[in-house]
Structure 1
Amino acid sequence: MRPSLRSLASVFSAFVLLAALLCLPLEAPLEAQTAANSAAAALQPMAQANRVSAQASLSQQTKLTGHIPAWATAARQTATPVDLSAPMNISLVLRRDPSVEAAFEKLLADQQNPASPHYHQWLTPQQIGTLYGPTQSDLDAITSWATGQGLKLVSVQPNRVIVALTGSTAAVASVFRTSFANFDLGSETRFSAISEPSIPVAFSAVIQSVHGLTQARYVPQSKASVGQLPAAGLKPQVGVGNGINLILPDDFATIYNINSVYSGGDKGATIGSAAQHVAVIGRSRVVTADIANFETLAGLSTSLQPNVVLAGADPGTSNMGDAQEATLDVDRVIGTAPGAVVDLVIAKDTQNEDGVDIATAYNINTLKDPVMTISFGSCEASNGQTETNLLNTEFQAAAGEGISTFIAAGDAGAAGCDTPFMAAPATQTASINALCASSYVTCVGGTEFNDASNPSTYWSSSNSSTGNESALMYIPEGAWNEPDATNSSGVPTGGFEVGAGGGGESLYIAKPSWQTGSGVPSGAFRYVPDVAFSASAHDGYLGCFAAGQGSCVTTGTGQNQSTPILIFSGTSASTPGMAGIAALLNTKLGSAQGNISPLLYSIATSTPSAFNDVTVATSGVTNCTTATPSMCNNSTPGPTTLTGGLAGFEVGTGYDEATGLGSLNVANFLAVASGSPISTSGSASFTLTPSPATLTLAPGATTGNTDTITLTSTNGFVGSVGLVCAITFTGTATVSLPPTCNLSAASVSLTANGTSTVTATIATVAASTAGSCSTASLPSKGPVGMMLAGLLLLVLPVRKRKAIRALTMVFLLTGGLVVMSGCSSKSSSSTSNTCPTPLSPGTTAGPYTVKITGTSGSISVPMTFSLTIS
């Protein structure tokens, strides 16, 4: 058959499309480049005047403020001098002309506004610099001055607002008219400038700050304790000791409603037709065997290894804490978005630069992965404003490029300057993670599951054959707050420590226009976190890290078998999980999303059922007070007592500074984000459905006496449903002993449009007598019927080509005979009954109605099924 012209045209079109795809550059996703090109065509650089006069005198100086960290005090200064010959890398953070800055802010808002022609029209770093950077004349004036003072120009970032310079410590001190000293911080020694830097007055309109005059060190926001899987070769079970439940990727998917996303084909693999990459920012490599062993336990492909991208000097794996952090982050991203490619972007610290800063800048300016996750933190209050300025400037550029950035809120509760998982200091300071302060990132906090009172409701006592899943449903959440100190094996030591989800108000960054909605404070500054997921050690994340005594390699046999694991906790565990969800979102919508915080707050207002709101009620805490750390707040303990620490923030309806908007019901969130909102017609409620609809029992029956009740959320209902069961006799006889009803759970939790089940067990009592009957009787119809059924099975022919039909007839006829055999079990003897009088007649025979009522707040939903006691 000759091909039609239409077929030939289709083939030719496909060939042309393939050729075009193959010719595209590989430096950025296809959609990002296409959008960037169209945006560049529509936008033109703003006309702006030079702010540095060509005839300006550079001798008059002015001081910049905000560079001296709170820890650089005279009391902490050591006698050890700073090596003035050591090289220093610094950056000048420039400010745009106010009108240009306003235009850039307008574009960033338009990029998130579906009604704007610039919606999701992302720019390249170079286009941001060309369109919104300082004038070339101003850049030349500043770089000429710096190099003329003895510094060397390293680079001007493509956004044209960060200028990297290098030189000796002595040269830097001379150029900025400051001096340096070393400071004893107890656990480490850092150096810092001891006076604010000076710059020529002529540059004051352009230079915002000088980054790198002090050592900023970021701390991993995670904790790991050594655990062991049960002996005798059992897979991870609900009880691994100390009440700890293990969270693996399949558990996370069940709890946060991601399974339907996966089954629908979305695993975060692509953005349109391009492979999707997620950048994990770190300071260490990972060990391939650790990742592979985790994947084996989690039922993932063992080929999901990260690409290692060096953004600076190779840090290797020598730092235990950094290697552990990188391992956790990689595990959580591939466990949440198993189709995405993970790029582990790493750099070694320099004398005055944190490797996290170096790796972050590399992704924003060079690699440009559309999702970026950073699980490190540093106290905003003690850093000073310059670090916050640099981070905000970089994350602003990332947002304009379409990069979604996720930052861990921190593990020290409201006291962001405290060292997590250590005893609280005598003086505690309210602060947030400096990296979270930017309005161009999504800050991810921590929750804790409220499952301790009834764990069997939420966790199975066994695991699935693939993925080792044991979670049964969504689990109500409180704020993550674990003030009881534990040792390296997770065993309580009797002391107290700081360990809670970070949150609070920025000191420097204004509250963005999109941060509105129920519960959002009315203050003028940025509030964090934005969202939160489980971060507690109580239900920790299983990981494999051989260097930390958690190899996941099984040794021994039988009861001597041992499989050491690590149990991770902290907001470093929740943050890469959110990054994985963002990768699913990108795949769902077919394009990069940039800063998704505006979308989060918008959906929280329009469709609250896309979130699992964390409140005092869901936390399970009675008599909640912020004076005592608990699951209803992110307060901290005192140095030696549970009370006397820093009062944090209480969870509440809508937004709060302990858990943000709450956690996500991922399937619902993705549906709303893609323009398929959850049905909101009618009131949010739930239904109860019995299976079977009727039940017939003999008194004393212990099998066939259960009914499965399925509860289904309707119209986005989310919450806990209390259940009661009652039985009513509907016959005419006098009831002496009615049946009773027992439920497998007194309450269940429903996610939006989710389901849950309970079992109703009907208990009856058989009749009892003083002795047994002595009267002889003929065989009953029951055994005869069974014999006939057996004979029928023997004689019925079954031919191959009619096998299915014949087997069907066999089952039907056999079932009929069995029913006939059970119609009467009475003796056919004509002799009189000489059985003794029963001591108890047992449960009264007759018809009953079983009524189960579900109640949640003002909602009450009844359901009935028929019961017959024969």
Structure 2
Amino acid sequence: MKRVTPALLALFLLPALCVPASASYVTKRGSISPRVKETLDLGPIPKTERHRILVGLALRNRPALEAFLRDVQDPTSPRYRRFLTQQEFNALYAPSPDDESAVVTYLERSGLRITDRFPNRLVIGAAGDADDIARALGVRLHAVLYKGAYHFAALSEPWVPAELAPTIDGVIGLDDLHAMRAHVRRGAAVKPRAAAGGGCCHLGPGDLKVFYDNDFGFDGTGETVVIAGAFAWRDADVSAFNAQWGLPPLPPGSGQVCTGAAGSQGCLFNRSMSVEASLDVQYLHGTAPGAVIRYYMAASTRILDFATMFNRIVSDNPGHVVTISWGLCESESLESQQVIDDNIFSNASAIGQSWFAASGDSGSRECGGILTVDHPANSPHVIGVGGTTPTCSDGLTVSNTACMGYGSETGWSGSGGGVSQTFNRPSFQKGCGVPAGTKRLVPDVALEADPRPGNYFIVNGAWYTVGGTSISAPQWAGFWAELDQVSGGNGLGHPGATLYGLCGTSAFHDVTTGSNGDYSAAPGYDLVTGLGTIDARLLISPQSPPPLPPEPAPGLVIRAAKIVGEPASLVAGCPARNTLVAVAEDALGTRASVGGTISLDGAPLGRVSLRAVTTPPPGSAPLPPGQVYS
């Protein structure tokens, strides 16, 4: 069947958009699935069939943002742990309101309905029929057959007007060939503490407290940890798990949050698919029982719903620590998906959130025998967590089923690890045996994950054993919540610099044996277990909150400003209608939101002097009346 090219489609559609036929368009590469080449084209879908898309917008001032993210984790920098508020991030690095509005207007003029917008303006959700999507993006969705199943997919990359191209990083939702998957391996049905033939016995949260030296009085009280995933847990399962292992109930404020429409599939309990949620909440709570747990659920396992959920977590900012045990191999992920997600994770790091992601359960060849890594563990703004096989110093036998202490660990054969082909190496990933190169390495750290011995958990009232890096990531999130608890509770941001700075110390168990297929564990950093596993007591030992640089001297300099008012322009001689909202920065790099009503001094727009003459709008710090800013 002949396919309409973007250029011809543009000429056909432009009159309906009231855009000159000479308008130019730019192809946005990385927005269609690598799997398209493996599909059988069955022809265009019906024109009225409805679909959803997610448009990702580009960050502004990316080099400056990356410099800030390095400084905010550098104890020698005056910006150390002085994280931005979301409002400050929006003013400095988020897409501008005008850029977002231009994209929204274009999508709406194309016939699409806007379904999602966020304060950080990083993504825009839209819905419409196939004709609307073709009008907006120049691609016709086709019915396709992939590995014996029916799907839909765009067969060519979308295009957008040239004037919008620098603003748009990519589009997600032009196919349903991908779904996020849980990194979990469920084992046999068991009874807690029962022998399981030659596989006796299995680990519970009490065993892991002993094994990782996490029983010293700090439990995450005052912290909130977020689980990112899909499909609900059953409260009855959580209660049964707590009763079995002597854990307290989830703290007040814990609960589940659906980021899709009411009744979305991904927000319901599913006996099979809810295994991951059950495992995550049970072992996160077992690690840090004092921490509030908020579980954010995507509307489905589609990648656009996960990106929406990620951005909701950042926008809501309900807690300082986030764990995700779902992923998709990098080699089959859309480039646009990875870039859009990484923009969101950059925002998370800037406001002080710490993200941990399971690195995968299929070793170095995570995807159909291909040497690859997993997303989102491959993001430089996320900590990738691999897996080990633990051996207790004593116990875990038929005669003594409890683990009596740390013995040793080897790299687990299923631990996802390798070299990213998408992302460059972050500045913190250096030293300690890190191999030479320029690309991001995965994982960063590890924890027990092998299904043998495996961990006890309960779902839908039945007990099973389980393994996978899904066990590892939520436990690391629990440890990090405890560290934040003893560090003042203000958020620690990206853990990379801190963790790599501890390499070679007694805080880490350096795992030096084991293989995930193509890579072997070795002294220092390796592509099976990263830096190794943790001794929680030595990582989290009580400490005073880290010292911050001295308060800056007075004197703020405007670095970014926006004029708001009615109308949205400066009016000479009318200060009541001109309001300055800005982000100011002092000589030490400390930022603060400032604002005030201003008057126009007669200079041309673009190089106007702004003079604060009255009090600022609510939520802003005052600008001294009479002071002039340029």
Letter in 2 for 1:472: M
Choose from 384, 396, 399 the match for 1:443.
384
Q: Does 1:578 align with 2:525?
A: no
Choose from 199, 213, 217 the match for 2:174.
213
Q: Provide the C-alpha distance between the structure 2 equivalents of 1:182 and 1:318, rounded to a whole number of angstroms.
A: 30
Judging changes above 3 Å, is the alpha-carbon distance between structure 1 residues 546 and 207 closer, same or farther for their aligned structure 2 residues?
closer
Specify the alignment match of 2:624 in structure 1: none
Specify the alignment match of 2:555 in structure 1: none
Choose from 283, 289, 304 the match for 2:236.
289
Specify the alignment match of 1:60 in structure 2: 24
Superposition RMSD in Å: 2.5
Specify the alignment match of 1:489 in structure 2: none
Choose from 226, 243, 261 the match for 1:279.
226
Q: Describe how 1:89-100 pairs up with structure 2 within 5 A.
A: 89-97=52-60, 100=61
Q: Provide the C-alpha distance between the structure 1 equivalents of 2:175 and 2:354, rounded to a whole number of angstroms.
A: 28
Deviation at 1:353?
A: 4.9
Letter in 2 for 1:294: F
Q: Provide the C-alpha distance between the structure 1 equivalents of 2:170 and 2:540, rounded to a whole number of angstroms.
A: 40
8 Å contact kept, 1:217–1:354: no
Deviation at 1:95?
A: 2.2
Judging changes above 3 Å, is the alpha-carbon distance between structure 1 residues 198 and 251 closer, same or farther for their aligned structure 2 residues?
same
Bigger shift: residues 510-519 or 177-186: 177-186
Q: Report the secondary structure of 1:507's partner residue.
A: strand
Specify the alignment match of 2:539 in structure 1: 669
Judging changes above 3 Å, is the alpha-carbon distance between structure 1 residues 248 and 168 closer, same or farther for their aligned structure 2 residues?
same
8 Å contact kept, 1:283–1:348: yes
Specify the alignment match of 1:309 in structure 2: 257
Q: Describe how 1:104-115 pairs up with structure 2 within 5 A.
A: 104-115=65-76
Q: Report the secondary structure of 2:147's partner residue.
A: coil
Size of the alignment, in residue pairs? 522
Q: Does 1:459 align with 2:396?
A: yes
8 Å contact kept, 1:128–1:158: no
8 Å contact kept, 2:200–2:397: no
Q: Provide the C-alpha distance between the structure 2 equivalents of 1:139 and 1:284, rounded to a whole number of angstroms.
A: 31
Deviation at 1:281?
A: 1.5
Q: Does 1:527 align with 2:479?
A: no
Deviation at 1:675?
A: 8.3
Specify the alignment match of 1:506 in structure 2: 420
Q: Report the secondary structure of 1:518's partner residue.
A: coil
Judging changes above 3 Å, is the alpha-carbon distance between structure 1 residues 56 and 597 closer, same or farther for their aligned structure 2 residues?
farther
Specify the alignment match of 1:775 in structure 2: none
8 Å contact kept, 1:220–1:321: no
Q: Describe how 1:584-595 pairs up with structure 2 within 5 A.
A: 584-590=482-488, 591-595=490-494
Deviation at 1:674?
A: 6.1
Q: Does 1:479 align with 2:411?
A: yes
Judging changes above 3 Å, is the alpha-carbon distance between structure 1 residues 430 and 183 closer, same or farther for their aligned structure 2 residues?
farther
Judging changes above 3 Å, is the alpha-carbon distance between structure 1 residues 595 and 84 closer, same or farther for their aligned structure 2 residues?
farther
1:320-355 deviations in whole A, cap 9, x for unaligned? 3321110000001100000011112113228x6554
Specify the alignment match of 1:410 in structure 2: 360
1:549-584 deviations in whole A, cap 9, x for unaligned? x2xxxxxxxxxxxxxx21010011111111111111
Q: Provide the C-alpha distance between the structure 2 equivalents of 1:209 and 1:568, rounded to a whole number of angstroms.
A: 37
Specify the alignment match of 2:519 in structure 1: 649
Choose from 201, 204, 207 the match for 1:245.
201
Q: Report the secondary structure of 1:576's partner residue.
A: helix
Q: Provide the C-alpha distance between the structure 2 equivalents of 1:458 and 1:608, rounded to a whole number of angstroms.
A: 27
Q: Provide the C-alpha distance between the structure 2 equivalents of 1:600 and 1:367, rounded to a whole number of angstroms.
A: 23
Deviation at 1:592?
A: 0.7
Q: Provide the C-alpha distance between the structure 1 equivalents of 2:249 and 2:96, rounded to a whole number of angstroms.
A: 51
Q: Provide the C-alpha distance between the structure 2 equivalents of 1:90 and 1:124, rounded to a whole number of angstroms.
A: 29
8 Å contact kept, 2:250–2:289: no
Q: Report the secondary structure of 1:65's partner residue.
A: coil
Structure 1: stretches of 5+ with no match in the other structure: 1-54, 230-234, 271-275, 419-427, 464-468, 482-499, 551-564, 617-631, 636-647, 677-870
Choose from 180, 199, 221 the match for 1:269.
221
Specify the alignment match of 2:458 in structure 1: 544
Specify the alignment match of 1:615 in structure 2: 512
Q: Report the secondary structure of 2:337's partner residue.
A: helix
State the TM-score, normalizing by the size of structure 2: 0.78
Q: Describe how 1:347-496 pairs up with structure 2 within 5 A.
A: 347-349=298-300, 353-418=303-368, 428-449=369-390, 451=391, 457-459=394-396, 461=398, 470-481=402-413
Q: Describe how 1:711-790 pairs up with structure 2 within 5 A.
A: none
Q: Provide the C-alpha distance between the structure 2 equivalents of 1:527 and 1:356, rounded to a whole number of angstroms.
A: 23
Q: Provide the C-alpha distance between the structure 2 equivalents of 1:253 and 1:652, rounded to a whole number of angstroms.
A: 26
1:144-179 deviations in whole A, cap 9, x for unaligned? 222222223334422233233332232112211112
8 Å contact kept, 2:26–2:162: yes
Deviation at 1:62?
A: 1.8
Specify the alignment match of 1:770 in structure 2: none
8 Å contact kept, 1:283–1:355: no
1:226-268 deviations in whole A, cap 9, x for unaligned? 2333xxxxx615x4323242111111111111112x2xxx110
Q: Does 1:124 align with 2:85?
A: yes
Judging changes above 3 Å, is the alpha-carbon distance between structure 1 residues 102 and 256 closer, same or farther for their aligned structure 2 residues?
same
Q: Report the secondary structure of 1:79's partner residue.
A: strand
Structure 2: stretches of 5+ with no match in the other structure: 1-18, 547-630
8 Å contact kept, 1:503–1:528: yes
8 Å contact kept, 2:40–2:146: no
Judging changes above 3 Å, is the alpha-carbon distance between structure 1 residues 341 and 303 closer, same or farther for their aligned structure 2 residues?
closer
8 Å contact kept, 2:323–2:357: yes
Judging changes above 3 Å, is the alpha-carbon distance between structure 1 residues 213 and 125 closer, same or farther for their aligned structure 2 residues?
farther
Choose from 272, 279, 285 the match for 1:328.
279
8 Å contact kept, 2:134–2:140: yes
Letter in 1 for 2:245: A
8 Å contact kept, 1:462–1:470: no
Deviation at 1:458?
A: 4.7
1:376-401 deviations in whole A, cap 9, x for unaligned? 01111112311101110111111111
8 Å contact kept, 2:172–2:303: no
8 Å contact kept, 1:77–1:181: no
Q: Provide the C-alpha distance between the structure 2 equivalents of 1:600 and 1:574, rounded to a whole number of angstroms.
A: 16
Aligned residues: percent identity?
Answer: 28
Q: Does 1:179 align with 2:140?
A: yes
Q: Provide the C-alpha distance between the structure 2 equivalents of 1:470 and 1:380, rounded to a whole number of angstroms.
A: 39
8 Å contact kept, 1:346–1:355: no
Deviation at 1:364?
A: 1.1
Specify the alignment match of 1:861 in structure 2: none
Larger radius of gyration: 1
Q: Provide the C-alpha distance between the structure 1 equivalents of 2:110 and 2:173, rounded to a whole number of angstroms.
A: 17
8 Å contact kept, 1:408–1:571: yes
Q: Provide the C-alpha distance between the structure 1 equivalents of 2:541 and 2:189, rounded to a whole number of angstroms.
A: 38
Deviation at 1:517?
A: 1.6
Specify the alignment match of 1:6 in structure 2: none
8 Å contact kept, 1:286–1:327: yes
Q: Provide the C-alpha distance between the structure 2 equivalents of 1:303 and 1:201, rounded to a whole number of angstroms.
A: 51
Specify the alignment match of 2:36 in structure 1: 72
Deviation at 1:367?
A: 4.3
